[in-house]
Amino acid sequence: MGQRPKNSRPPQQAPAHDWPSQPWLERSTTQELLKTLVISLVLVLAVFWVFGQTSDHAFLICDDVQYIYGNPHVAPGLSWGNVRWALTAYHAGNWHPLTWMSHMLDATLYPVYPTVPPGAAGGHHMTNVWLHAASVVILFLALRQMTGALWCSALVAAMFAIHPLRVESVAWAAERKDVLSGMFWMLTLWAYSWYARRPNFGRYAAIVVAFGLGLTAKSMLVTLPCVLLLLDYWPMRRWRPKGVALSPEDEASPRFPVRSLGWLIVEKLPLLGLSLAVSAIVAVGQHGAGAMSMVDPVSTGMKVSNAIVSYAVYLWKTIWPVHLAIFYPHPSIVKVSSSLWATETIGSAILLLAVSAWALWNWRRWPCGIVGWLWYVGTLVPVIGLIQIGAHAYADRYTYLPMIGIYMVVVWGAADWSAHRPIWRKVLGCAAGATLVLWLILAYNQTAYWKDNLTVFGHAVEVTRDNYFAYNHLGVAYQDLKQIEKAGENYIKAVEIAPNYDSASGNLGIYYANTGQLEKAISYLKNAARVNPFVSVHHSNLAAAYLRLNRIDEAAAAFQEGLQRDPENTSARIGLVGVYYRQGKIKEMLDQYRELVRQHPNQAVLINELAWFLATYPDKAFRNGKEAVGLAGRAVELTAVQDPLILRTLAAAYAEDGRFSEARQAIADAAALAKRQGKEKVAVACEMDARLYQRRMPLRVQPPKIASPNKGR
């Protein structure tokens, strides 16, 4: 390549671990393939040893409810209607249709609808484990293909596989988006190295497909095009800056065709376009769902300082992975000492600047340093907190992909340094083995904390300070176990730490409502609705408390606000039905009832009640015999002609429509069925109705109490 430029470093002797002169897959021997197969198998076994225990774990009340078993579009499983919802939904402030569909597929294979059966969660957890195992193996193969370095690639994959920071992403069912998008990240890397060796349209299309699918699983993959550009410099050497000396083997036989920097940037433009499009979609969804307003307003200075500290915290937790928790409180909420926070921020900034300076100073000699460091810093940008999403300071799950860059720095840096120091190579090899064993044990123990709600949130309370989030969810866990007093104690602790944490304030309000302290309940429920008005359930809970104090107009306004925030809030719509009835607004009540039936077309109880009202209400202005017949007939089909009360409704609907012969037959069938089922009171009521129909008189009664759509499932 000509004379070496002045002031450039002399060419380094090719390290002993370096790549072969020809691409690995083009010179694979049986021995090479056997080694690769054995290493892949060992990696998979390590993943299952650590995370296989999740097959006995339960769902969590945090996110698993709205993502899986409490989501009416996911819990019933795959269907065309649910797939259409997945493609357009901004549910929980996220747009990730592929993740939704993967949950739906699991719900089909391991049913969670209408109630969660024992063992259902295990199948969902094991899907996460399989996806993580696949990501580990594909990462190993991609690095092996890019570098030709067998053991370095295997070590990076092993570090990624079993580090304790991976536990949150794998052991939490709702974090499917991490492991699913991670698999497509690895597939994109593999496809890119395949394309870069012999570029053509078909291979580039494989990159676009893998990357596009990854973006629909989690938007954090928006930084991947920039990572590919880094990999062009090292290890693929597709771009060779002027003045940078290469190893003799690089000079003699490039692994991948060399391209100009301009060409490599243009090559990434379609991928960058996808990233920008998905970023815009997600930003709209998160803003509309209120995900950016769930904590006290965070100043720009606090966001920047928290981001700096978070970078350092992730590095520390990689080195010393203990005291890991499901949630770390944001310093703007728990009010950390200003002097302590300033010290942490300055110390973290010094660390980051020092590492960055080292990486830049050695970018020619150790290219793995600058590439791995920029991988780490860059891929964390979407979740580092400069745009505050949620109420956490940082999260273990955010390290799922970024830490691969750090592993590459450590592994290839150590391999380069020790290449011609045989003793140190052995020392570092032993240290690596011991570290992996330690991480294996720590990860196994950390995974055990995710067994159920009490253990995961109880552990978070123990290892963190002022964890209002953990106290709140620990309260919910105790409430589910009917330990009401313990639930209340934890809600109170959460609110004392973070008065403007809407979930804790809302739960404490419900606790006071259930214990008869309604004025206190309204105070906390109003605060929850004020802090986060985007959460529809806060408004409907407040409305229910108003109703118990007979404050009807205020209840109606709160229910309406809840429906405005979420038109699918069934409890709010049912509450509004009851409020309108009490206010005598029958037309408005029927409008809400019809919308309920439209939203729940398979809820026989709801359909039957609307049909009964339309058939029997005393005021003829609101009766509709034909509509009642259609609704009652649908309810009869849904219950397979096995509910005498619904057959009674059908008879009343026929009578209102003037079809008395059919009404007499239906009521006779209802009475006979009730007798066979031992429901004597129902049979007597049917016989009384039959006398009216014999005289060609329709039935007139007051409407029944409004039922919940969950009733009768």
Q: What is the pLDDT of residues 274-307, one digit of tens each?
A: 999 998 888 776 655 544 444 456 788 889 999 9
pLDDT at 387: 78
pLDDT at 243: 63
Question: Does residue 281 share a domain with residue 410?
Answer: yes
Q: Across the chain, what does the average pLDDT equal? A: 90
The answer as to whether 681 is a domain residue is yes
Task: Give the domain-ending residue among 400, 421, 446.
Answer: 446
- For residue 244, what pLDDT is reported? 62
518 assigned to some structural domain: no
Q: What average pLDDT score do residues 83-88 get?
A: 94
Q: Can you tell me the distance from the alpha carbon of 622 to that of 628, in angstroms, rounded to the nearest whole number?
A: 11
- Same-domain check for residues 157 and 103: yes
Look at the chain and report how many structural domains it folds into: 3
Same-domain pairing of 567 and 713: no
Q: How far apart are alpha carbons 431 and 589 in whole angstroms?
A: 71
User: At which of 566, 599, 632 does a domain end?
Assistant: 599
Residues 575 and 683 in one domain: no
Task: Considering only residues 196 and 28, tell me which one the structure prediction assigns the higher pLDDT.
Answer: 196
Residue 48 covered by a domain: yes
- Which is higher by pLDDT, 611 or 710? 611
3-state SS assignment for residue 602: coil
Is the pLDDT reported for residue 1 higher than 60?
Answer: no
Q: 471-497: per-residue pLDDT in tens?
A: 999 999 999 999 999 999 999 999 999
Would you state the structure tokens that stand for residue 477, as one six-digit string?
């866990």
**pLDDT at site 708:** 40
CATH code: domain of residue 695: 1.25.40
618, two tokens: 């005393």
Residue 712 has pLDDT above 50, yes or no: no
Query: Does 84 score more than 90 pLDDT?
Result: yes
Kindly report which listed range (48-62, 103-117, 487-501) carries the lowest average pLDDT score.
103-117
710 has pLDDT over 80? no
Q: Which residue has the higher pLDDT, 702 or 156?
A: 156
Residues 557 and 704 placed together within one structural domain of the fold: no
695: domain range?
A: 600-713
pTM of the model: 0.85
- Give yes or no: residues 593 and 647 share one domain: no
Q: How do residues 167-198 score in pLDDT, each as one tens digit?
A: 999 999 999 999 999 999 999 999 999 999 99
Pairwise pLDDT comparison (333 vs 466), residue with the higher score: 466
For residues 671 and 555, state if they share a domain: no
Q: Same domain, yes or no, for 254 and 173?
A: yes
Tell me, what's the pLDDT at 285?
66
Tens of pLDDT along 213-239?
A: 999 999 999 999 999 999 999 999 999
Where does 220-337 have alpha helices with state H?
224-233, 248-252, 261-289, 300-319, 331-334
Shared-domain flag, residues 150 and 275: yes
Q: For residue range 131-148, what is the model confidence (pLDDT) as tens digits?
A: 999 999 999 999 999 998
With respect to residue 481, please indicate whether it lies within any of the assigned structural domains.
no
- Mean pLDDT within 443-470: 97
Mean predicted confidence (pLDDT) in 98-127: 92
* pLDDT in the model for residue 388: 72
Asked if the structure places residue 278 within a domain, the reply is yes
Q: Residue 92 above 70 pLDDT?
A: yes
490 in a domain, yes or no?
no
Last residue of a domain, one of 446, 473, 507: 446
User: Residues 400-427: what's their mean pLDDT?
Assistant: 95
175 plus 222 within the same structural domain: yes
Q: Does 265 share its domain with 176?
A: yes
Note every long-range contact of 247-252, with CB atoms under 8 Å and residues 24 or more positions apart, other chains counting: 247/11, 247/12, 247/13, 247/14, 247/15, 247/18, 248/11, 248/13, 248/14, 249/14, 249/18, 249/19, 249/21, 251/1, 251/11, 252/21
Assigned domain for 107 exists: yes
